[in-house]
Chains A and B, each alone.
Chain A
Amino acid sequence: MSQNILRLENITMQFGGVVAVDDLSLEVNEGEIVALIGPNGAGKTTAFNTITGVYEPTNGQVSFMGEPIVRNHPQGKMKQSYKGKEAEKFLSAPVLDPTPDKITKLGMARTFQNIRLWKSQSVFDNVLIAKHMLRTSNVFSATFRLNRAEEARQREEVMELLRIVGLEDVKDELATSLPYGKQRRLEIARALATEPKLLMLDEPAAGMNPQETDELTEFIGRIRDEFHMTILLIEHHMDLVMDISDRIYVIDFGELIATGTPDEIQNNQRVIDAYLGVEEDA
């Protein structure tokens, strides 16, 4: 039995009167590639943002490697207007609301749907900056170069990473001058530089043509194998999802409507009704 990496329990996110994510529970185990899919506006990215600390969920708990890291229950005005389920479940446990950087430090790194690279930095520096959180130096030792060994080691690691993802030859280019597909790769490399246990990809194939998508599919598979990485991804491209996912969760209107292997999902009537049958033929 492989270890459980990520577990969501009853995650609910309500904005005003709108329930964007409704009682979502899911699990990701070590070494798996798990996909979260659903039609536009189903609440996928919102779910993602509650896991990574960008939003504080209205209710529910996120655990990472068995430890609860995010937890909340309806409070204040929300107590009255709360429309979700399980309002009582986490009432007695303390609220946990870490900032995104704390969550990344625990070992979860993410990419963004609309690529967010540091635009004035080179490819190399984009990856190197992600190493900042692993430093042992403080501001004095870093300023006066007492951290030479660490700096040299990190630069080495960044070079190695760039080599693996195939961006070695463009390392001095400005990050934003790269073609779209390579920017996606760079964002993934940047996330890997934080040495995560779980990689979270927010629509990695958004805006890609079929050929680029195929390359990306191959790339994600390679990342899993070479880094023994566990991956949670949100995606629209069904080819990619069906090719590489071990398990799939499908949500619609914030609610989980199906879960299973790619084969099971492809044959699930609810999913076909909600999504696949109309949108795209997988």
Chain B
Amino acid sequence: MKKKTIGKEYLFTVVILLAALAVTMLLDSRLPGYHIVIKVIKKASVYSLVAVSMNLLNGFTGLFSLGQAGFMLLGAYSYAVLCIPVDKRAGVYQYFDGGVVKFSLPEVFAGFLGDKVGSAVGMILALLVGGVIAAFFAYLIGLPVLRLKSDYLAIATLGFAEIMRTIIQWNAIGPLTNASNLLRGYPDFGSATAYLLLIGVFIACIVLLVNSTYGRAFKAIRDDEVAAEAMGINLAHHKRLAFVISSFFAGIGGGMLAMYMGAVAAMSFKSSMTYEILLLVVIGGIGSITGSVMTSFLYIASLEWLLRGLDTGKFLGIEAPGLFKNGFRMAVISVIIMVVVLFFRKGIMGDRELPDLFRRRRKGGEKK
């Protein structure tokens, strides 16, 4: 979003982003770490990254892939396996003799960079390793799978995610993944600011990519594959590139989700998680990064915080325990989702971004 010739709209954008950061820092200093607002910011940041990475593939490149949960799973497990402190490993891997991994990245780095900096470096490195592993798997399956057309691609990637979920729970690799038992005890960034900053950096990378010559090539493939190929864009290469990059960030997002949840089990990375993220992308607007981020925050805030009352009997001061009981919140959210899907087909943002909102609309509905 930064450019040499800073227009007014970019200035506004930067101001808004800085304001969000400042508010988060303030909240961090005033509220305890377990406070719901802090948790909402953390979880929403993670969802933003995952949604944006899915948007890169489904929205910007036009590849309908449903493998997101599988790549997140890889990232989550990589992070957990690499970060569980050595002295906790015996307890976590109780059925597998303490596991095969005998080190913990944050501790390794804490050894020579000091506790605080070293742990953070180790944790970030573990996240990146998770991303690389996810990207590597995407690279492997990309070649055969990306030749498939829309629905077939969707179902093949969905299948891949389910296969990953089974393999991770396989007893034979238990010493590495703890099979179907929880992985827990690994460190977390205490502050919401850390989440926001980290996710901000990753999303900024995606924004830069989308607006680069490669991003333009992705959009060309989305708009018309035949024309893109005729104009010298190698389809196989570019589709694979988008798939690998998207999976890389999904892997990182998975790692951060694991971090947020405090314990990770393969069970929870079901296809319904992919659907949930896909809905966020669509509602935000396919092809709008701002939309994905905004929707993620709205969704998580309503889900975890604002609409809690719908499940517990009291909402907006109305007490109706008969109506507002367990599950009502999700029912309401899914009705809202359906309304958006049916009546606001382009999502909240369409394909506009934050700076576009501050720009005077010119004729022809054109973009930047």
Q: Which residues of A contact B (CB under 8 A)?
A: 52, 54, 99-102, 104-105, 109-110, 112, 116-122, 125, 128-135, 137, 139, 142-145, 147, 151, 154, 172-174, 177, 190-191, 194
Q: Which residues of B contact A (CB under 8 A)?
A: 205, 208-209, 212-214, 216-217, 219-220, 222-224, 226-236, 241, 245, 287, 351, 362, 364-367
Judging by beta carbons under 8 Å apart, are A129 and B216 in contact? yes
Judging by beta carbons under 8 Å apart, are A119 and B216 in contact? no
Rounded to whole angstroms, the CA-CA distance of A125 and B367 in the bound complex is: 11
**Contact status of A172 and B232, CB under 8 A, knowing A121-B223, A139-B241:** no
Name which residue of chain B comes closest to A116, CB basis. B227
User: B234's contact among A99, A116, A151, A173, by CB below 8 Å, is which?
Assistant: A99
Rounded to whole angstroms, the CA-CA distance of A118 and B223 in the bound complex is: 5
Question: How far apart are B220's CB and chain A's nearest CB, in angstroms?
Answer: 5
Rounded to whole angstroms, the CA-CA distance of A142 and B210 in the bound complex is: 10
User: B213's contact among A52, A142, A173, by CB below 8 Å, is which?
Assistant: A142
User: A143's contact among B214, B230, B231, by CB below 8 Å, is which?
Assistant: B214
Judging by beta carbons under 8 Å apart, are B227 and A151 in contact? no
Chain B residues within 8 Å of A116, by CB = 224, 226-227, 230
User: B232's contact among A105, A128, A173, by CB below 8 Å, is which?
Assistant: A105
Chain A residues within 8 Å of B366, by CB = 122, 172-174
Judging by beta carbons under 8 Å apart, are A142 and B224 in contact? no
Chain B residues within 8 Å of A128, by CB = 213, 216
Rounded to whole angstroms, the CA-CA distance of A1 and B235 in the bound complex is: 38
29 A-B pairs with C-beta separation under 8 A: A54-B230, A99-B229, A100-B226, A100-B229, A101-B229, A101-B230, A101-B232, A101-B233, A110-B230, A112-B226, A112-B227, A116-B226, A116-B230, A119-B223, A122-B366, A125-B216, A128-B213, A129-B217, A139-B209, A139-B241, A142-B214, A143-B205, A143-B208, A143-B209, A144-B208, A173-B366, A174-B364, A174-B366, A191-B231
Question: How far apart are B307's CB and chain A's nearest CB, in angstroms?
Answer: 35
Chain B residues within 8 Å of A145, by CB = 208, 212
Judging by beta carbons under 8 Å apart, are B364 and A190 in contact? no
User: B235's contact among A99, A130, A172, by CB below 8 Å, is which?
Assistant: A99
Chain A residues within 8 Å of B365, by CB = 174, 177
Which of B209, B212, B214, B232 has the largest count of A CB atoms less than 10 A from its CB? B232
Task: List 10 additional contacts besides A100-B229, A120-B222, A120-B287; criterion CB under 8 Å.
Answer: A101-B230, A109-B230, A117-B224, A118-B224, A121-B219, A129-B219, A132-B220, A132-B232, A143-B205, A177-B365
Rounded to whole angstroms, the CA-CA distance of A118 and B287 in the bound complex is: 15
Number of A-B contacts (CB under 8 A): 115
Question: How far apart are B1's CB and chain A's nearest CB, in angstroms?
Answer: 12
Name which residue of chain B comes closest to A52, CB basis. B230
Rounded to whole angstroms, the CA-CA distance of A104 and B213 in the bound complex is: 18
Rounded to whole angstroms, the CA-CA distance of A134 and B233 in the bound complex is: 10
Chain A residues within 8 Å of B223, by CB = 118-121
Rounded to whole angstroms, the CA-CA distance of A156 and B14 in the bound complex is: 28
User: A118's contact among B214, B220, B351, B367, by CB below 8 Å, is which?
Assistant: B220
Name which residue of chain A comes closest to B232, CB basis. A133
Chain B residues within 8 Å of A99, by CB = 229, 234-236
Judging by beta carbons under 8 Å apart, are A132 and B233 in contact? yes
Rounded to whole angstroms, the CA-CA distance of A99 and B351 in the bound complex is: 31
Name which residue of chain B comes closest to A196, CB basis. B232
Rounded to whole angstroms, the CA-CA distance of A122 and B365 in the bound complex is: 10
Which of B217, B226, B227, B241 has the largest count of A CB atoms less than 10 A from its CB? B227
Rounded to whole angstroms, the CA-CA distance of A109 and B231 in the bound complex is: 7
Name which residue of chain B comes closest to A144, CB basis. B208
Rounded to whole angstroms, the CA-CA distance of A125 and B224 in the bound complex is: 14
Rounded to whole angstroms, the CA-CA distance of A18 and B263 in the bound complex is: 63
Question: How far apart are B268's CB and chain A's nearest CB, in angstroms?
Answer: 32
Name which residue of chain B comes closest to A127, CB basis. B231
Rounded to whole angstroms, the CA-CA distance of A124 and B200 in the bound complex is: 30
Judging by beta carbons under 8 Å apart, are A151 and B213 in contact? yes
Chain B residues within 8 Å of A144, by CB = 208
Which of B224, B231, B234 has the largest count of A CB atoms less than 10 A from its CB? B231
Chain A residues within 8 Å of B224, by CB = 116-119
Judging by beta carbons under 8 Å apart, are B364 and A194 in contact? no
Rounded to whole angstroms, the CA-CA distance of A130 and B224 in the bound complex is: 13
Judging by beta carbons under 8 Å apart, are B231 and A104 in contact? yes
Question: How far apart are B59's CB and chain A's nearest CB, in angstroms?
Answer: 11
Question: How far apart are B206's CB and chain A's nearest CB, in angstroms?
Answer: 9
Chain B residues within 8 Å of A101, by CB = 229-235
Rounded to whole angstroms, the CA-CA distance of A193 and B364 in the bound complex is: 24
Rounded to whole angstroms, the CA-CA distance of A112 and B241 in the bound complex is: 27
Chain A residues within 8 Å of B236, by CB = 99
Chain A residues within 8 Å of B208, by CB = 143-145
Rounded to whole angstroms, the CA-CA distance of A263 and B365 in the bound complex is: 49
Question: How far apart are A204's CB and chain B's nearest CB, in angstroms?
Answer: 15
Rounded to whole angstroms, the CA-CA distance of A174 and B287 in the bound complex is: 16
User: A132's contact among B213, B235, B241, B351, by CB below 8 Å, is which?
Assistant: B213
Chain B residues within 8 Å of A109, by CB = 230-232
Judging by beta carbons under 8 Å apart, are A104 and B230 in contact? yes
Rounded to whole angstroms, the CA-CA distance of A120 and B362 in the bound complex is: 16
Rounded to whole angstroms, the CA-CA distance of A111 and B228 in the bound complex is: 11
Chain A residues within 8 Å of B220, by CB = 118, 121, 129, 132
Judging by beta carbons under 8 Å apart, are B235 and A133 in contact? no
User: B231's contact among A129, A135, A154, A172, by CB below 8 Å, is which?
Assistant: A129
